[in-house]
Amino acid sequence: MPELKVNGLRTNYQLLPGAVGPDPWRANETVVFIHGMGTDSLASFYLTLAPPVAAAGIDVISYDLRGHGRSERPVSGYALADFVADLDELLCALTVTHPVHLVGNSFGGTIAYAYAAAHPHRVRSVVAIESEPPTEVWAAKMAGILAATTRMLGVEENYEWIEATFGAHHRRLARLAAARFTATTMADEVATGPMMTAREVAAITCPVLSILGRHGYQADDLGAVTASLPGGEAFVFDDQGHSVLVERHRAVRGLLVEWVRRHGGG
Amino acid sequence: MSDTTTAPDSVFDEVVDLIGALVGDDLALLGVEVRRDTAFHEDLGLESVDLVTLGGLLADRYGPRVNLAEHLAEFELDDVIGLTVGRIADYVAAALGER
């Protein structure tokens, strides 16, 4: 299993080289998948989008964020800036020198926005699935979700409800999330920033595709993120909550391949 | 799931050995008997990310024609969650028999 030291932490990653095909536009395009927070890992991309995207000729990098999957799990060090620094060091360690397409799910998309703002020359485009840039609005929403989740996971009877409603697998995931939130400062730290101002968000000039569920975390204002970004486009799935990646991965893969084709470096 | 090949014991045993390498201990020492209907997540207590690692171990062992991630990318989530060791072995056998 491939591992690197990134900012001193053992980091699990997977590379999938793009298939060699006849289409010259595909040369030298790299997608970096950034998963979400809690019990998520590189698997949610690797077992859905990564193989077909690589088959379309695009190089794929997936990795486990610090504290997730099989990467190292420090007790603290979970501010957004830590995740952004990790991504930068990972790309350096893998000697990726051309601009990449960052594809983030949920919190992973927030990392992508922050990285694109901090390192504009290294980012060709951002595809953010059910994600927002790290503004104070996002921080307040995230802190609320994390506080509610932590409270919910602290009540034993809720695990019975989770199993009855979603199945045994989700009960195991909830146990895992509870253990990780208890063992680390992740839930307290993630929404601490530093946050971006509206002006800093507007300074992200690369193309951005915001993929949303109509009933997901941005249901209150589906147009807010794209309106704040000069290069922003949105795609909204009807009848869909936050789990866009899991439940709509086939449609997302089509959107993504077409997006990279449109916004490749040529 | 489209593959209908039932893996011979030799392939099944090799898959179990690789899962042992993944778990990091001899499965027998842990008191776990891995059967065809042993579920990867529920019975072995492994996570989906371990399935990715197993895919890498399978590719190292058998070459790139055994591509577990590509195979699973066509699955629905519930099928991935309920994946058994036997079905992984069946896929490996089918992939090896394809050419």
From the list B52, B72, B81, the residue facing A42 with the nearest CB is B52
In a domain, A222, yes or no: yes
Question: Taking a C-beta distance cutoff of 8 angstroms, is the pair A52, B73 a contact?
Answer: yes
In order of start, what are the domains of chain B with their CATH numbers?
9-97 (1.10.1200.10)
Q: Considering only A81-85, A157-161, A208-212, B31-35, which range has the smallest mean pLDDT?
A: B31-35
pLDDT band for position B99 (cuts 50, 70, 90): very low
Chain B residue nearest residue A3, CA to CA: B53
The region that residue A36 occupies, defined by phi over 0 for left and psi between -120 and 50 for alpha, beta otherwise, is beta
- Best residue in B47, B52, B80 for a mutation probing chain A (most A CBs within 10 Å): B52
Task: Report which DSSP code applies to A237.
Answer: E
Angle between helices A136-153 and A168-183 (to 10 degrees): 110
Which tens digits make up the pLDDT trace of B28-59?
A: 777 778 899 999 988 888 888 999 999 999 99
pLDDT at site A94: 94
Structure tokens at B62: 């058998």
Beta strand segments in A77-224, E: 100-105, 123-129, 208-213
Give φ, ψ of A102 to 5 degrees: -90, 125
Chain A residues lying within 8 Å of B48, measured CB to CB: 41, 43-44, 47
pLDDT band for position B4 (cuts 50, 70, 90): low
Cis amide linkage into residue A134, ω under 30° from 0: no
Structure tokens at A65: 């964020």
Q: What is the mean pLDDT of residues A117-138?
A: 96
Rounded to whole angstroms, the Cα distance separating B99 from B95 reads 8
- pLDDT exceeds cutoff 90 at A74: yes
Q: What is the mean pLDDT of residues A226-246?
A: 93
Chain B residues lying within 8 Å of A167, measured CB to CB: 81
In a domain, A112, yes or no: yes
- pLDDT exceeds cutoff 70 at A266: no
pLDDT band for position A258 (cuts 50, 70, 90): very high
- pLDDT exceeds cutoff 80 at B26: no
Chain B residues lying within 8 Å of A46, measured CB to CB: 52, 69
Which tens digits make up the pLDDT trace of B55-96?
A: 999 999 999 899 999 899 888 878 888 899 999 999 999 999
In a domain, A91, yes or no: yes
Chain B residues lying within 8 Å of A49, measured CB to CB: 73
Q: Do A43 and B49 touch (CB under 8 A)?
A: yes
What number of C-beta contacts closer than 8 Å exist between A and B?
A: 59
Rounded to whole angstroms, the Cα distance separating B94 from B99 reads 10
CATH number at residue A121: 3.40.50.1820
pLDDT band for position A68 (cuts 50, 70, 90): very high
Q: What range defines the domain where residue A236 resides?
A: 3-134+192-263
3-state secondary structure (DSSP) of residue A216? coil
From the list A2, A50, A70, the residue facing B69 with the nearest CB is A50
In a domain, A18, yes or no: yes
Q: Do you know the residue count of chain A?
A: 266
- Best residue in B49, B58, B84 for a mutation probing chain A (most A CBs within 10 Å): B49
Chain B residues lying within 8 Å of A51, measured CB to CB: 67, 69-70, 73
CA-to-CA separations, A71 to A6, A86, A259, B12, in angstroms, rounded: 10, 12, 30, 29
Tell me which residue has tokens 């690197």.
Answer: A4
From the list B41, B51, B57, the residue facing A47 with the nearest CB is B51
- pLDDT exceeds cutoff 80 at A238: yes
Rounded to whole angstroms, the Cα distance separating B81 from A166 reads 12
What's the ipTM? 0.81
B67 contact A CB<8A: yes
Q: Which of A86-90, B14-18, B50-54 has the highest mean pLDDT?
A: A86-90
Dihedral angle at the C-alpha atoms of A261, B51, B59, B28, nearest 10 degrees? 180
| A100 or A172: which leads in pLDDT | A100
Q: Do A55 and B52 touch (CB under 8 A)?
A: no
Question: Taking a C-beta distance cutoff of 8 angstroms, is the pair A162, A170 a contact?
Answer: yes
Chain B residue nearest residue A55, CA to CA: B70
A118 contacts: CB under 8 Å, gap ≥ 6: A84, A88
Rounded to whole angstroms, the Cα distance separating A60 from A15 reads 6
How many separate domains does chain A show? 1
Rounded to whole angstroms, the Cα distance separating A236 from A256 reads 14
Structure tokens at A247: 């439940």
pLDDT at site A77: 95
Q: Considering only A13-22, A38-47, A168-177, A178-187, which range has the smallest mean pLDDT?
A: A13-22
Q: Do A246 and B77 touch (CB under 8 A)?
A: yes
In a domain, A143, yes or no: no
For chain B, count helices (H), then strands (E). Answer: 5, 0
Chain B residues lying within 8 Å of A176, measured CB to CB: 47
Tell me which amino acid residue B17 is: D
Kindly state the percentage of chain A with pLDDT values over 90: 72
